[in-house]
Amino acid sequence: MAVNIDPNNRLSFVGRSGSQQSRARFDAMSTVKARQPVTSSVNYEETPLEEIFGSNVFNRNVMRTLLPKQVYKTLLRCIDQGEALDPTIADVVANAMKDWAIARGATHFTHWFHPMTGSTAEKHDAFLAGTGTEGGALIEFSGKFLIQGEPDASSFPSGGMRSTFEARGYTGWDPTSPAFLMESANGKTLCIPTVFCSFGGEALDEKTPLLRSLQALNDTGVRLANLVGGNVKRISSTVGAEQEYFLIDDAFYLARPDIIYSGRALFGARPPKGQEMEDHYWGSIKDRVLAFMMDCEAELYKLGVPVKTRHNEVAPAQFEVAPIFESANTAIDHNMLLMEVFRKIAQKHGLRCLFHEKPFSGVNGSGKHNNWSLCDEEGNNLLDPGHTPQENVQFLVMLTAVIRAMNTYGGLLRASIASAGNDLRLGANEAPPAIMSVYLGEGLTRVVEEISEGKEKSSSSPQVVQFGVATLPDIPKDNSDRNRTSPFAFTGNKFEFRAIGSSMSIFFPNTVLNTMMAESMDYMYDQIKKIIDKGSDPVKAAEQVVRSVLKENKRIIFSGDNYSSDWSDEAAKRGLPNLRNTIESLPELVKDETKALFKKYNVFTEQELVARYNVRAANFCKTINIEWQLTRNIATTIIMPACLEYQNRLATTILQTKAAIGGGNIAGQEGFLRTFVQRVNDLQYALETMDNIIAPSSGGPGAGHGEDADQVLLAKFCQEQVIPAMNEVRATVDELELYVDDSLWPLPKFRELLYLF
């Protein structure tokens, strides 16, 4: 390669075929080649992990030290026992928070909340409250600022719950999730987790419903656990969210407008090497990537996020991070923080972190495994079967409640994770199918069968795995094998909901999980109570109800291969819903049963629920709207010119060759040109077809403000017409990529994006 200076005095590389070479792509490759691992701001030899962990969090340790004893106790009662927050302590807490934050270099604070955009929101205010009479700075942070904020609600999605003139919204402090300091290159900001609602009190965010669902889970769970012999004061759900993601070099990212604006590659032929060698999964982690992971971990440790596991995932350039589970509210805040930190730190390392569910077609997409369980105030796991699950009544009652909840509300849970991005992944042979079912594992399935069929209980003796090598000891087997294809699998002492998309906020699916579980626990309570009231022993009553409820709900249990086509036939026979995409799923959100469920447990009013439905439909349209525009724009202004340039070269060469050899036979080359011209025509036709489909709908899908009911119609139109038209354009471009002179191809190819670090 040689260096060239273009008429605008920009330096560029010239490849073998001269100045027409696609500069962005080759520049990117040179940039990537020169990259080195970037060091982290934390040195564990100087500052051990124990010292770093939580150093940016206003946690219990800090509160115990800084708050007067009485205030600390009052606050703990609110956090641990769900007592209403006593507003009179707010000033004291706010003052302590401010002093702590300022001592660590903070100048600003913000309420940190989760509007219905799926991401976080923040508006920073300085602690500076004015200038004193002497001209100095007055610093202030009162309880009022801690407890309440007043963002303009009109610019956040409301799903039709407000008109623009009703712009007032409120944020309110959530004391159950700790405040923290967010660091940037030039200072720190105190972030206070809050809820967000409208002037009329409707939840405009993702957190309020989650907190309501946790309340319902607690009320019903405590009642049920204690009815069957427990002595439980509080029940909460625990969550551990395994997070998958892709990394690509920043230089490639900047040369791919599709990835910049839609989060995924809208074009790109399958690379010659994908994931078929199975050599990336758990492979040795490349230096630059490991440096990035460690830097992220350091930042997350400071924020008290207990990240534990890191590894290469199945697809090239795909990775996973998993935390230690925590109480649901904190765990979900922490997952939001994790995504934010990963995005930010990636750029420091010359990388980009992609959370999209399917950034590269042809290799695996990314999901988020939501590990979920129930625990009491002492941290005891209520879904732990113990050594003899068949005799653990409380466990069996809770397990039965989960099975019934899945059988009753599986469609709703499916709908809670529906999005345009997740549609590209669910149901493909890499992710759970869209059919919801429960996997229990061999041991528990046997227990369930024995109970529901009223058979004798068998006790299974512990088994071992033998390596067959004298020097290696036998190791005990877990009581069940794994089933990686199940969307909702019991994994020892928790359920793993695997269908969530990697980019999604997990607030809503967890809200749904908690609420459907609350309803199911209530059902179990009522049934058991009826029998007890007739004079039966609680344990006997519980066993009787477990038996009948398991029997009624058995169709949801499936242990086989969820990827097989046999399963969709079998599921259809069992009457299980198969909601293949967002459009088919969304109506579940506004079904009468769903409305009744959420109303009963005060999680969503009908209006709040319909708002979620509208927001999701609008988001779907907006996503497709962005994607088709990008498709047209890139195909027309980036791909087509490169193709025409190559076509021109071919034509010129053929003409010149003919002239030079005086009419000799070059039919092979002419044939190649002819086929090439046809391929370019195909691209043009595909673009015209897409334009014709979209033209009649005023301005294209999602062009409006996206909050009215016809968003649903528009979403259908996108699904049925726009997506296939877009796919057709892509197919022609991906085909052309395999023929155009490599030095002219403008977009970084998958073989570069996925492999060069």
Separation between Cα atoms, residue 750 and residue 282, nearest integer Å: 21
Closest CA to 719 of 583, 622, 617: 583
Residue 73 or 308: which CB sits closer to ligand ADP?
308
3-state class (DSSP) for residue 255: coil
User: Considering only 219-227, 233-241, 526-534, 544-552, which stretch makes contact with ligand ADP by CB under 6 A?
Assistant: 233-241
Residue 352 or 369: which CB sits closer to Mg ion?
369
Considering only residues 474-493, where is the footprint of ligand ADP by CB under 6 A? 493
Closest CA to 184 of 395, 308, 301, 348: 348
Considering only residues 511-570, where is the footprint of ligand ADP by CB under 6 A? none
Residue 502 or 623: which CB sits closer to Mg ion?
502
Q: From ligand ADP, Mg ion, none, which one binds at residue 145 (CB under 5 to 8 Å depending on kind)?
A: none
User: Considering only 92-100, 245-253, 318-326, 539-547, which stretch makes contact with ligand ADP by CB under 6 A?
Assistant: 318-326
Q: From ligand ADP, Mg ion, none, which one binds at residue 493 (CB under 5 to 8 Å depending on kind)?
A: ligand ADP
Which H/E stretch holds residue 184? strand 180-184
Q: From Mg ion, ligand ADP, none, which one binds at residue 372 (CB under 5 to 8 Å depending on kind)?
A: ligand ADP
Closest CA to 315 of 349, 267, 261, 354: 354
Residue 213 or 623: which CB sits closer to ligand ADP?
213
Separation between Cα atoms, residue 591 and residue 422, nearest integer Å: 22
Contact 28, 282 (CB under 8 A): no
Residue 212 as a binder of ligand ADP (CB under 6 A): the answer is: no
> Nearest 5°: phi and psi at 118?
85, -5
Considering only residues 219-258, where is the footprint of Mg ion by CB under 5 A? 242
Per rule CB under 6 A, count of chain residues that contact ligand ADP: 17
Residue 264 as a binder of ligand ADP (CB under 6 A): the answer is: no
Residue 500 or 722: which CB sits closer to ligand ADP?
500
Closest CA to 450 of 387, 388, 493: 388
Per rule CB under 5 A, count of chain residues that contact Mg ion: 2
Please enumerate in sequence order all residues whose Cβ is within 8 A of that of 437, keeping only pairs 6 or more positions apart, or say none. Answer: 406, 410, 486, 487, 488, 556, 557, 558, 562, 571, 576
Least distance from Mg ion to the Cβ atom of residue 383, Å:
16
Least distance from ligand ADP to the Cβ atom of residue 326, Å:
8
Q: Alpha-carbon dihedral of residues 14, 15, 17, 19, nearest 10 degrees?
A: -20
Residue 373 or 480: which CB sits closer to ligand ADP?
373
Q: From ligand ADP, Mg ion, none, which one binds at residue 608 (CB under 5 to 8 Å depending on kind)?
A: none
Separation between Cα atoms, residue 434 and residue 487, nearest integer Å: 8
Using CB under 6 A as the criterion, what x/- string covers residues 365-404 for binding ligand ADP?
A: ----x-xxx-------x-----------------------
Which H/E stretch holds residue 239? strand 235-249
Residue 240 as a binder of ligand ADP (CB under 6 A): the answer is: yes
Of 28, 322, 639, 744, which one interacts with ligand ADP (CB under 6 A)? 322
Contact 303, 57 (CB under 8 A): yes
DSSP 401: H
User: Considering only 212-220, 362-370, 380-388, 644-652, which stretch makes contact with Mg ion by CB under 5 A?
Assistant: 362-370
Least distance from ligand ADP to the Cβ atom of residue 324, Å:
5
Contact 454, 403 (CB under 8 A): no
Separation between Cα atoms, residue 248 and residue 24, nearest integer Å: 15
Amino acid at 455: K
Separation between Cα atoms, residue 371 and residue 325, nearest integer Å: 8
Residue 494 as a binder of Mg ion (CB under 5 A): the answer is: no
User: In the bound complex, which residue of the shown chain has the CB atom lying closest to ligand ADP?
Assistant: 240
User: In the bound complex, which residue of the shown chain has the CB atom lying closest to Mg ion?
Assistant: 369
Residue 174 or 242: which CB sits closer to Mg ion?
242
Residue 414 as a binder of Mg ion (CB under 5 A): the answer is: no
Amino acid at 272: P
Residue 494 as a binder of ligand ADP (CB under 6 A): the answer is: yes
Characterize 315-345 residue by residue with b for buried, 16 or more Cβ atoms within 10 angstroms of its Cβ, and e for exposed.
Answer: bbbbbbbbbebbbbbbbbbbbbbbbbbbeeb
Sign of the CA dihedral with 704 first, then 707, 710, and 712 last: positive
Residue 169 or 323: which CB sits closer to ligand ADP?
323
Residue 369 as a binder of Mg ion (CB under 5 A): the answer is: yes
Q: From Mg ion, ligand ADP, none, which one binds at residue 309 (CB under 5 to 8 Å depending on kind)?
A: ligand ADP
Residue 72 or 488: which CB sits closer to Mg ion?
488
18 φψ region: left (φ > 0), alpha (ψ -120 to 50), beta (else): left
Residue 439 or 646: which CB sits closer to ligand ADP?
439
Least distance from ligand ADP to the Cβ atom of residue 413, Å:
16
Residue 288 or 369: which CB sits closer to Mg ion?
369
Q: How many CB atoms lie within 10 A of CB 28?
A: 23
Of 323, 441, 501, 746, which one interacts with ligand ADP (CB under 6 A)? 323
Separation between Cα atoms, residue 566 and residue 561, nearest integer Å: 9
Separation between Cα atoms, residue 478 and residue 491, nearest integer Å: 10
Contact 674, 691 (CB under 8 A): no
Residue 242 or 737: which CB sits closer to Mg ion?
242
Separation between Cα atoms, residue 369 and residue 429, nearest integer Å: 17
User: Considering only 317-325, 455-463, 615-623, 747-755, which stretch makes contact with ligand ADP by CB under 6 A?
Assistant: 317-325
Q: From ligand ADP, Mg ion, none, which one binds at residue 221 (CB under 5 to 8 Å depending on kind)?
A: none
Separation between Cα atoms, residue 246 and residue 358, nearest integer Å: 10
Least distance from ligand ADP to the Cβ atom of residue 160, Å:
35
Separation between Cα atoms, residue 745 and residue 732, nearest integer Å: 14
Using CB under 5 A as the criterion, what x/- string covers residues 320-359 for binding Mg ion?
A: ----------------------------------------
| Residue ranges binding ligand ADP (CB under 6 A) | 238-240, 242, 309, 322-325, 369, 371-373, 381, 493-494, 496
| Residue ranges binding Mg ion (CB under 5 A) | 242, 369
